[in-house]
Amino acid sequence: MNVSNPNFMDKSMREVVEFRFACKHFDAAKKIEDGVLHELLDLTRLSPSSYGVQPWKFIVVKNEGLKNALLPACYNQPQITEASCVVVMCSEMDLAGENGLLKKYVAKSKEDLGYSDEESANFENMLSNSLLSKSSEELKCWAQKQIYLAGMSLMIAAAEKGIDSCPMEGFESAKVSEVLGLSQNVLPTLIVPLGYRNMEQPKKTRFDFDVVVEERK
Ligand SMILES: Cc1cc2nc3c(=O)[nH]c(=O)nc-3n(C[C@H](O)[C@H](O)[C@H](O)COP(=O)(O)O)c2cc1C
């Protein structure tokens, strides 16, 4: 099996999941086609989120100069510059107010799902009561959880296409924000370099099934 073939498709879920690993070295010369990358991000966009709010922004970095600038903010982990591109998965924290995400989400739901004015108002109230009563630290934590689900979608979608990835928390968020010129409401949460492996896939170490799965009868 040619594991770095971009046309690696029609695989079982087991093959896709086993293909994925935290890739430490990418072949810097092999680039992901734009159309394929677009499809990966489009699939990532379909990830589930709490109340469906999608508190995220995905910043894609292909530019070599920008990747080089990100490197020191990511503890010089080589994936950043070797990967074809780096997806900086951010938590969108601008929820409240007229231009906040909640209002935008309610408007989009109305458009897509045909909510009446009353249904929209009720939906907005429910969202505001549930979310805006949280402290900013709680909200940050809430938003970050959604990013991890989207991150897994991205990595699985990539693996299905024979594209390697690495989930990365090893970075200094403030420095990444500065390099990318992000607003203070957009918080880098998980970085996922994508590309083609330039290393052997290591053996996995996982606890046995019966250690982590318990059935209650
Ligand atoms: C949230 C999270 C953060 C991680 N951060 C890094 C990182 O900064 N650098 C890195 O090389 N690997 C990172 N990893 C990769 C893990 O070490 C790896 O997923 C784990 O050892 C299991 O190996 P596997 O993914 O190859 O199966 C991270 C993984 C997760 C889930």
User: What is the C-alpha separation between 140 and 164, in angstroms, rounded?
Assistant: 29
User: Where in the sequence is the domain holding 61, given as residue range(s)?
Assistant: 13-92+145-198
Tally of residues, the chain: 217
pLDDT in tens, 81-106: 999 999 999 999 999 999 999 999 99
CATH of the domain at 76: 3.40.109.10
In a domain, 121, yes or no: no
pLDDT of 5 over the 60 cut: no
Q: In the structure, which protein residues have their CB atom closer than 6 angstroms to any atom of ligand 1?
A: 21-22, 24, 77, 166-170, 204
Is the model's pTM score more than 0.85? yes
In a domain, 131, yes or no: no
In a domain, 101, yes or no: no
Q: What's the 22 CA to ligand 1 centre distance in angstroms?
A: 6
Mean pLDDT in residue range 1-19:
73
Q: What's the 130 CA to ligand 1 centre distance in angstroms?
A: 32
In a domain, 156, yes or no: yes
In a domain, 103, yes or no: no
In a domain, 37, yes or no: yes
If one counts the domains in the chain, the total is 1
